[in-house]
Chains A and B, each alone.
Chain A
Amino acid sequence: MKLASHDKSSSLLPRRRFLMGTAGLIGATALPVPAWAKGVSMQHAAKGFGTMSGEDIRLDIQNSHYSTGGRSGHAQTVNGSVPGPLIRLKQGQNVRLHVTNHLEEDSSIHWHGLLLPFQFDGVPGVSFPGIKPHETFTYEFPIRQAGTYWWHSHSGLQEQAGLYGPLVIEASDGSDARFDRDYIVLLSEFTPVHPHEIMRKLKVGEHYFNRQMQSATDGNMSGDERRMWGAMRMNPRDVSDVTGSTYTFLMNGHGPADDLEYLFKPGERVRLRIINGSAMTFFNMRIPGVPMTVIQADGQDVLNHEVDELQIGVAETYDVVVTPPDGSHALVAEAMDRSGMAIASLTSHPGHKATAPALRETPTLTMADMGMGMEMGAMAGMSGMDGMDHGAMGHGQMGGGTMDHSKMSHSMRDTSILPEDVATGPGVDMVSPMPVDRMDYPGLGLENVGHRVLRYTDLRAKRANPVRAIEREIELHLTGNMERYMWSFDGRKYAAVKDDPIRFGFDERVRVTLVNDTMMAHPIHLHGHFFEIVNGAEQTRQPRKHTLVVQPGGKAAFDLTADEPGDWAFHCHLLYHMHAGMMQVVTVRPFPA
């Protein structure tokens, strides 16, 4: 394989043969040799990926072995690499993707973020029957959009095992040629533990993977606060379910020990297509000393916005442009719970490794994450109820003095404030007492970092959206039980709603409000559509996304024009949350349209 050289002409888009991402990797070896061609089933997976382009693309799903740092184990791969190959397409082309399953179990590939006929969306049981062992399935659809996307298995927990890869669609207007370098930064995890064993441990051993729990010697909460969390049977360090205790965090398939490099020459404008292809990890992305200009979110153009750091939820993508000064800069993707990082060197000196910054302190959840409003700011405004006689309302227990958070023993499970259609039961261990819109929240642990951090409220669609009045509003509650590791929408696991989908009329315009009755951030993904997130921008500038992170104890809304007929998966993109039941089907009818 060719390494990216300093010669600008050799690394430029839109050449088909250019190997994005891996082009700049020292340490990546030859193009992955397809193991299937040799009849070898457990070949070592290559790190990084080759590129597949054109109208006919062949992908082979197979078993492999992967290792990085001190960890090694089984992997499921496409074309023998982790991640699988970059699928590089052009807006306006047609594509036929021939996917052969060499596993002994069913498999599938879902094209994450693509607008396509629903039967090629790749979700077994929703859009198609899945791909049986040793069968080939051909996906065929026109490419209607441009931008940065990715693909992954939607069968079982195969995504955790390595069945994912990047997908880039070059814009037909030539706008992708604006940059001197164009790199993929695909974030993911590797674990030597079988994904089903991870799931079992999540179910049976509470906080099995969390080695940063609040303890007598960890955390700086007062005794009162500790007792308050204890009273709720929750731990304020419940940040990530699966952590660096079993995960090695990867960038383009490279662990921190693999010395991934991205090359540039001083003065060059470098585009980084950041894709969070992990199963469970939110990452804080930064390049210390190098500001990043966000130009796309979830593959959709947004107005330029410069930040120093951004938190990327699972399944989201952000394209940023950087112009780094001469030197070696650390490209850091720190896990949200600070249990590890993926790292590469963004360098103008090949072979010169950037110094990794230290992991920052593990963040601790707050009152806002329990759905008690923005640090109780929402407690304001009793004056709005002029007509009510407060004197007669038994406020006897309410002192008039200062707020004492430690004494705020709200009911954390007042199910009467839930809509009637939310099922309550063992699967719902918390109800946010006062969920507020948290679109301006930069992400857990980034509230006070002292530099500019991306917030959803910063995003503005670059091209104006059509103005459409909202015809209907629906509200969905994100529910769960940390202790039992149960996750659901509206208190119902997928099994309970399999024949009761969320129904939309074709071309219907709906505002969907997601209320998070849990203390975890959930990246909620709708297949086959873009919705506009309600982030305070005027309607025409609301950014289009396919995945919306709903912050703990908060709520978030999106406006959807349901203009893609068929059946679509709608789920939390935290893999084990989805596997636990946080999944629904959305139908758009009539079908056929």
Chain B
Amino acid sequence: MRRALSIAALASAGICLATPLKAQDHSGHAGHVMPKANEPEAAEAPEEPVDHSQMDHSQMDHAAMGHTTPPEAEPAAPVDHSQMDHSQMGHAAMGHDMPTAPSKDETPPARALEGPLHAADAIWGSEAMQPSRDNLVKDHGEMEVGTLMVERFEARIADGEEGYLWDAQAWYGGDIDKIWLKTEGEGEIGGSVEDFEVQALWSHAIAPFFDLQAGARLDIEPETRSHLVLGIQGLVPYMWHVDAALFLSDRGDLTARVEAEYDQKITQSLILQPRAEFELSASDIPERGIGAGLTKVEAGVRLRYEFTREFAPYLGAEYEAKLGDTADIARAAGDDPTGVKFLAGIRFWF
């Protein structure tokens, strides 16, 4: 029963993950406020009669539209809208300036298709042209780049404990597909590494602000364990960077992690970064002291100063709490499930 509930919780987390994707195309049609009726300039009606009788306007959101037909969009020929299904058209915010309307003849005349595909081949020969043509493609949008970003590299000071943490990502690739590496870990200063994981992911742009990421995660500490990873990473409205992933371990445990952070520029160089992280588990994982459900939350804030864009030391504080059964397990072991840590670190990238 508990397991079923946890899976439901995870599923809803999954829906949360998906939400930003949907949000892209629908970023709030609510809250349209009509202009006053006395706005200037009456619209020009289309010259051709339009039969709206068969149109399905049921899904049209006419909020905020100016029903203007700009002169250049006047239909060149009578337009029969009777067969059109407008049900999927988002009319939000548009004038009835439908660029899709067949008002323009986009077909070039026959002579435009005469002669060689590449005129330069007729002058210089295709053998001479082909390498430069290939290079032209490379030089106009096909470049690949990479970067390494150490987002957090910090000392964490709590009562009687001095730990450290790292959190770095590197990627290489083109606009759509990238290889992505991530590593995170922490330990006690002077002590051993307590957590250490690396992820190798293939990242594919699926929306303007989101990448789908899939691959593998290997935990080196606390014990070797491998996972399959499926996640999304990107920017949600209001400029929060979100990284959310599901992990399926080689022992069948399903866990999830959602991280979100926001850069609030105070000046061009001084940046306040609130950051939150949630961890979830579909099942109890006794050997890691994890109980099913929402297992852990971290909420922190870091204030960094960018001496250059690439190099920024910071100070911060973070509240960390184990939750639910996980908290109970911690308490049973004599540990405090909550705590506040002070942070000092550097953020740097290349």
* B interface residues, tally (CB under 8 Å): 105
Question: Could you tell me the distance in whole angstroms from the C-beta of B97 to the nearest C-beta in chain A?
Answer: 8
**What B residues does A415 contact at CB under 8 A?**
25
Chain B residues lying within 8 Å of A429, measured Cβ to Cβ, are 208-209
**Known A415-B25, A494-B137, A580-B141; contact A129-B128, beta-carbon cutoff 8 A:** yes
- Which residue of B27, B68, B116, B268 is within 8 Å of A378 (Cβ)? B68
**Contact between chains at B120 and A127 (CB < 8 Å):** yes
Question: What residues on A are CB-neighbors of B26 within 8 Å?
Answer: 411
Per-position 1/0 for A480-495, Cβ under 8 A of B: 0101101110000111
Cβ-based interface call for A386 (8 A): yes
Contact B140 A474 (CB under 8 A): no
CB pair B206–A426 under 8 Å, yes or no, is: yes
Contact B67 A382 (CB under 8 A): yes
Interface stretch, picked from B87-95, B314-322, B334-342, is B87-95
A393-B62, A494-B137 known; A230 and B92 CB under 8 Å?
no
Which residues in A have their C-beta under 8 angstroms from that of B70?
Answer: 436-437
Docked complex: A387-444 residues within 8 A CB-CB of B: 387-388, 390, 392-395, 397-404, 407-421, 425-429, 433-434, 436-437
Docked Cα-Cα span, A380 to B116, in Å, equals: 49
* B30 and A409 form a contact (CB under 8 A): yes
CA distance A591 to B121 in the complex (A): 11
Could you give, for residues 25-39 of chain B, a 1 whenever the CB lies within 8 Å of some chain A CB and a 0 otherwise?
111111111111101
Residue of A415, A416, A475, A566 with most chain B CB atoms under a 10 A cut-off? A416
Tell whether A414 pairs with B208 under 8 Å between CB atoms, given A231-B237, A398-B63, A583-B140.
no
List chain A residues, Cβ under 8 A from B142: 493, 495, 581
Dominant secondary structure at the B interface: loop
Pick from A123, A380, A393, A418: contact of B99, CB under 8 Å: A418
Report Cα–Cα, A124/B128, bound state, in Å. 11
Contact A376 B35, CB 8 Å, known A205-B309, A227-B238, A381-B66: yes
Give chain A interface residues in 270-311, CB to chain B under 8 Å: none
Determine if B131 is an interface residue (Cβ-Cβ < 8 Å): yes
Residues of chain A with a CB closer than 8 A to B250's CB:
none
Residue contact A426 to B64, C-beta cutoff 8 Å:
no
Q: For the complex, is A213 an interface residue (Cβ under 8 Å from B)? A: yes
Q: Contact between A398 and B32 (Cβ–Cβ < 8 Å)?
A: yes
**Contact indicator B265/A213 (Cβ below 8 Å):** yes
The smallest beta-carbon distance between B299 and chain A, in angstroms, is 20
* A130-163 interface bits toward B, Cβ cutoff 8 Å, 1 = contact, 0 = none: 1000000000000000000000000110000000
CA distance A473 to B135 in the complex (A): 32
Minimal beta-carbon separation of B96 from chain A (angstroms): 7
Assuming the contacts A218-B268, A429-B208, A475-B99, asked whether A557 and B72 have C-beta atoms less than 8 A apart, the reply is: yes
Q: Indicate if the CB atoms of A393 and B208 lie closer than 8 Å.
A: no
CB distance from A568 to the nearest CB of B (A): 9
* CB closest chain-B residue, reference A562: B112
Establish whether residues A589 and B39, one from each chain, have CB atoms under 8 Å apart when the complex forms: no
Given contacts A429-B208, A581-B140, contact A216 B119 (CB under 8 A): no
From 193 to 217 in chain A, residues with beta carbon under 8 angstroms from any chain B beta carbon are 199-200, 203-205, 208, 211-217
Known: A411-B26, A486-B175. A217 touches B116 (CB 8 A): no
Task: Report B1-56 residues with CB < 8 Å from chain A CB.
Answer: 24-37, 39-45, 50, 52
Q: Which residue of B lies closest to A580 (CB)?
A: B141
Contact at B106–A384, with CB atoms within 8 Å? no
**Cβ–Cβ contact B32 & A129, under 8 A:** no
A472→B106 contact, CB < 8 A:
yes
B331 within 8 Å of A (CB atoms) = no
Q: Which A residues lie within 8 Å of B43 (CB)?
A: 380-385
Residues from chain B with Cβ under 8 Å of A395 in the complex: 34, 62-63
Cβ-neighbour of B129 out of A129, A211, A390 (below 8 A): A129
Instruction: Give the chain A neighbours of B72 by CB distance below 8 A.
Output: 473, 511, 513, 557
Give the chain B neighbours of A495 by CB distance below 8 A: 137, 140-142
Complex CA gap A382/B68 in Å reads: 7
Chain B residues lying within 8 Å of A421, measured Cβ to Cβ, are 106
Pair B206/A233 contact, Cβ less than 8 Å: no
**Residue ID in chain A nearest B24 by CB atoms:** A413
Closest to A511 in B: B72
| Cβ-defined contact, B90 with A385, below 8 A | no
Q: Which residue of A has the minimal Cβ distance to B99?
A: A419
Q: Give every chain A residue within 8 A of B105 (Cβ-Cβ).
A: 472-473
Instruction: Name the distance in Å between B349's Cβ and chain A's nearest Cβ.
Output: 7
What is the distance, in angstroms, from A537's C-beta to the closest C-beta of chain B? 16
Q: Across chains A and B, which 3 residue pairs bring their CB atoms closest together, nearest first? A: A581-B141, A384-B43, A125-B136
Q: Could you list 22 A-B pairs, sorted by A, with CB under 8 Å?
A: A118-B120, A126-B133, A128-B132, A204-B349, A212-B268, A216-B264, A218-B267, A230-B239, A231-B237, A382-B37, A384-B42, A387-B52, A407-B31, A407-B32, A408-B32, A410-B92, A419-B99, A426-B176, A475-B99, A475-B104, A566-B120, A589-B112
